[in-house]
Structure 1
Amino acid sequence: MTASFALPFLTLPDEVVGFRDWLIGDPEEPLFHISRQLDAWDYARDLQLDTRLDLDLTAAAASLQIPANQLKLAVVVAIGSGTGRFARRMERVCTKVICAPLDAPLGIRFPVDSRNLSGRLLVRLEILLAEDVAPGADLSPRLAGSRLWSDTSNVHLEDGGDTRFPLEVLSFHRAFPGQRQETAPWYLHWRPGSMQADFTGSVRLYVNADHEALTQRVSEGDPVTLQAILGDVMVQMCRGVLEDDEAREAISDCEEGSVGSQVAGWLEMSFPGMKPDEIRGLMTATPGAFHAALHASADMGASE
């Protein structure tokens, strides 16, 4: 289970969900357990994803302190892809509502068209409250859409495009002596401007090698550290674009691989269905919720 923050209500433990990991492979061929890299992938190679849940609805009701006859759960699968550290877009591919005990494991199986893939494949499995429930225990979830459990798998597609965020580790004491960022743990070098500029050529993230513990966690791929750093990058760049009237209007027309395209992808992933002007309003009215949503989207799952 991937938890990016402490929820203010009861959630489902892993043993109640009974998730069996994803299987991935070529359609009509034997599947294998998903890992952090899929070798020998190309744009002509379609994929198949398969998993099963031993979801115990009775135990779920007890865990949530909700009467079993009132509990409806929605099992939702969304996939994303795109070059860069983050998926450029997310698409819901499966929703199943569970309102009665299962006689057999819940099977989830669907194809992934190669035309929709680039760079990486992000698979997010969530269990949500499907309907509002009457007030019960103080910590019971009540509102439809409350996230009760989630798992995220992030797969690097070999030869599927540049999947590296432009990052460099260096000593700030040597690189920026006497400057404001000299003792900062990281520093995003980015000048707001043309949304059509190449993302990897105009954006660079520096990590301060003088902070040895931080550098070690980054090199080891510590998921919480990376989420904090990359979430901060998303906040900086999304705020910069949303506060600029011209940039805010331009991002929807930017080509893939550009700064505007990357920011548009982050906004869609964090605030699905909302227009840039609406997101700007949220950013102004509730900046804490705006920042938290972007940081939550920066969660790419625990490393193996």
Structure 2
Amino acid sequence: MSRRALPYRIPSEDVVQVDPWDLITDDGHIPMPEALPDWDYQMDLHLRRTVRIDQDRARSQTGLPPEAVLMLAVVWTATGSNLSGPAQHVRLTGSGSAAVSLDVRLRGSDLGGLLLVDTALLLAEHRSEGRPSSPRRAGSVLWSDRSALRLQGDAPQFPMAVIDFGRTSFPDGAAWHLQISGNLESATMGSLLLLVNERNTAVATAFENAGKPRDIDRIVLSAVYADTARTMIEHALSLDEFVDGAEFPAESLGETLTALFDQLFPGRSISDMRLRRHQSPSLFASEMQEAVKIFEVSR
């Protein structure tokens, strides 16, 4: 736990003991890793840990009376979606040692990028009386802990939705469509949307099984990845402001497209690939296939 200079007393570090987060899967549970390279927005996350709190010492060391109500809270933040929210909270009104089981479920559609999971011991209710050095405001942080999980692997990640193309302007028989909107400084999460046609059962099923894909699902997902990467690169090369050395805001569409270009074509210049696409589109298409490693199901 990092120590911060606060205008009130906080308990010693050993007042709260925490187990590492576990990632709960269909096959059981594993310690939460540093990264999930195969994660996608269809994959919800289930996390679990136990926190042990010496309530008596937590109150006495902060100058709080025995009846002061404490709270253990979990809050999540996802850098890729720029979203955050409460995950769980447990009120503590007893005495002695308390073992609290935290069980957190997060929707994959809300996540992306780096997932930060903060666990904190708080003062649950405002106190109008007490020692000058003791916490008084509801929500005062007495202890905190942060864990991080990187969710984005090599593939570009952005929101997706499964819809019936028959009710849209898209061709009924198309399998997917990538929407790109906004300028290069727009937030990535608001600029990209992958739409999957529910009428195409092979593609819709592949995304349903993305957490544990079969070989056929991996082939389908490889094709979708290759096509979306091609669409994104061609969109980038069509924009005059997408040039070598350009800088874009963090989490912006420009930053995402630049990162994808550098990943697919390391050592190549944007001007060179723009010229290749203009002069020899068929060769450019073949180089894209090589860059995305299409149909290499071991990705």
TM-score normalised to structure 2 length: 0.50
Q: Relative CO higher for 1 or 2, CA cutoff 8 Å, sep ≥ 6?
A: 1
TM-score normalised to structure 1 length: 0.49
The structure with more strand, counted as a fraction of residues? 2
Q: Which has the larger radius of gyration?
A: 2
